[in-house]
Amino acid sequence: MKVTAVIINLLYFLALAPFLEGVMRKLTARIQSRQGPPLYQPYLDLLKLLGKENLNAAGHPVFRLAPLLAFASILSAIALLPLAGQSSFLAHSSDLMTLIYFLTLSGFSILIGALASGNPFAGVGASREMMTIIMLEPVLAMTLILGVVRAGSLNLLTATAGVSSARGLSYFLMMAVYLVALQAFVSRQPFDIPEAEVEILEGPYIEYSGPNYALFRYTLNLKRMFYSWLFVVGFLGFWLPGSPVLNLVVQTVLILVLFVLISVVGATHPRFRMDQALRFYAALVLLSLVAVGLGVRGW
């Protein structure tokens, strides 16, 4: 029974994540006056990739291990989430810091896979990806810490509920910062610098193809959904209904709305340069520090 709860967590994310990418692709295409692929295209893409040859440019075991670890660690993070207002079965041996480190582990796997491939484009991509992780992880951490400061516990359920438990100045400031950072969390324009197709050819993923690439693609989809989910549950959590089923439905609708927003911003903005983005992220980090400070003061 308890283990099924974890499985429901995983299934919810696994089933929905590619669909959200479909929404994103369709909307982007429409904004750019194209027809766009059908909404279920990402599922087909994943299936197609799984059937292709697995090209290995490195010969390292690390190159082969990286996609597995990236996919497994993002799923581990998802398994810990209090979906639909229910504490996870794993909550007693994990907490907020486990979650943050699992997310970092997922990013780290992509990097190490990229470096293992030996391709200089992948190297550039890995370097950019790591810089993004360094500068953005604190924004995510501080959002949750705002909840910790309010709730006085590192348990994920209470901490996420804590974020929106008092809606003062700190809450609105943090929400604004998170919304801007979201575009970078999901690596869409103007912050898709680590991948930057036209510039460094998908950076970290350049040497990956077939099933390995499918795992990375899936990881990216799951990550995007995770960050949107966190916004909905963290900042709009007070507004979600109590019944688990209804809660899940409302959550899903809100995540969809958020994806519409991400797509619109992504389709209408050009990409930043890395040094510009770093300054931008630094401002976000400082603002979220201010928000936590206000939170400690009780505002």
Partner 1 sequence: MTGTEALWLSLSSLLLSFLVTIVLGKKVRLVRLTGTILISLGCFFLAWQGVMILGTGQPVELELKLAGIHIPVLIDGLSALFLLLLSVLALGSTLFAYGYYETTETKIVQKVYLALPVFIAGLVGLLTVDDLGPGFTLAWQLMAISSYLLVRWGRPIKFSRRPALVYLAFMEMAWVLITGSAFLAKGYHFGDSLAAIGQKLSGSGPVATAIFLAMLLLGFGLKTGIFPLGQLWIPGAYSTASPPVSALLAGILEKTGVFGLIRIFFFVARGAGAGFNPDLWGQVLVVVGTLTLFIGTVQAIKQSDYLRLLAYSSIGQVGYIVLALGSSLLAWHSGSPLAGIIFAGAVYHSLNHGIFKSLLFLTGGSLLHATGTRDLNRLGGLLAVMPVTGVLAALASYSISGMPASSGFVSKWLMIAGNFLAGKDSLLLTMAGIVALFTAAFTLACYVKFFGLAFTSAGASWKLKREIREVPGSLLVPKIFLAVICLSQAFLPAVYIRVIGRSLAATEGFLLTGVGPESLKTNPIGLRIFEGPALLAAVAPLAMLVLLLVLTFLARWLRQSAGAKEVRVPAWLCGYQDLNKNNVYADRNMFSDLKKFFRWTGANKNLVIDDDELPGSVSREEKGVIS
Distance separating alpha carbons of residues 137 and 251, to the nearest angstrom: 23
Answer for which of 2, 53, 198, 242 binds partner 1 (CB under 8 A) is 53
In 3D space, the residue among 178, 158, 196 whose CA is nearest the CA of residue 281 turns out to be: 178
Figure out which of the listed residues 22, 67, 194, 234 binds partner 1, where binding follows CB under 8 A: 67
Task: Fill in the per-residue mask, 3 to 22: x = in contact with partner 1 (CB under 8 A), - = not in contact.
Answer: --------------------
Question: How many other C-beta atoms lie within 10 A of the C-beta of residue 226?
Answer: 22
Question: Does 100 participate in binding partner 1 (rule CB under 8 A)?
Answer: yes
Query: Which H or E run contains 175?
Result: helix 169-185
Which C-beta is closer to partner 1: that of 38 or that of 152?
152
208 touches partner 1 (CB under 8 A) = no
Q: Which of 83, 130, 177, 233 binds partner 1 (CB under 8 A)?
A: 130
**How would you class 179 by CB atoms within 10 Å of its CB: exposed for 0-12, middle for 13-18, buried for 19 or more?**
middle
Evaluated on CA atoms 18, 24, 28, 30, the torsion sign reads: positive
Single out the residue of 116, 175, 181, 184 in contact with partner 1 (rule: CB under 8 A): 116
CB of 125 to partner 1, least distance (A): 10
Residue 23 CB neighbours (<10 A): 17
Residue 139's SS3 state is helix
- Compute the radius of gyration of the chain from its Cα atoms: 19
User: Which residue of 5, 31, 180, 201 would you call a contact of partner 1, by CB under 8 A?
Assistant: 201
Nearer to partner 1, 211 or 241 (CB): 211
**Looking only at residues 139 through 198 of this chain, which bind partner 1 when binding is defined by CB under 8 A?**
141-142, 145, 148-149, 152-155
Look-up of token digits 């990216």: 220
Binding piece for partner 1, criterion CB under 8 A, among 28-36, 170-178, 249-257, 286-294: 286-294
Nearer to partner 1 by C-beta: 27 or 146? Answer: 146
Token pair belonging to 136: 């953005």
How many residues are recorded in the chain?
Answer: 299
CA angle, 129 as apex, 293 and 100 as ends, to 5°? 45
Give the x-and-dash track for 69-98 against partner 1 (CB under 8 A): x-xxx-xx--x----------xxxxxxxxx
Task: Determine if 138 is a binding residue for partner 1 (CB under 8 A).
Answer: yes
Which of 54, 86, 165, 252 binds partner 1 (CB under 8 A)? It is: 54
Q: Of 214-243, which residues contact partner 1 (CB under 8 A)?
A: 214-215
At residue 196, the 3 state secondary structure works out as coil
Question: How many residues in the shown chain lie near partner 1 by CB under 8 A?
Answer: 89
Query: Of residues 246-285, which lie at the interface with partner 1 (CB under 8 A)?
Result: 274-275, 278-279, 282, 285
At residue 282's C-alpha, the angle toward residues 278 and 283, to 5°, is 120
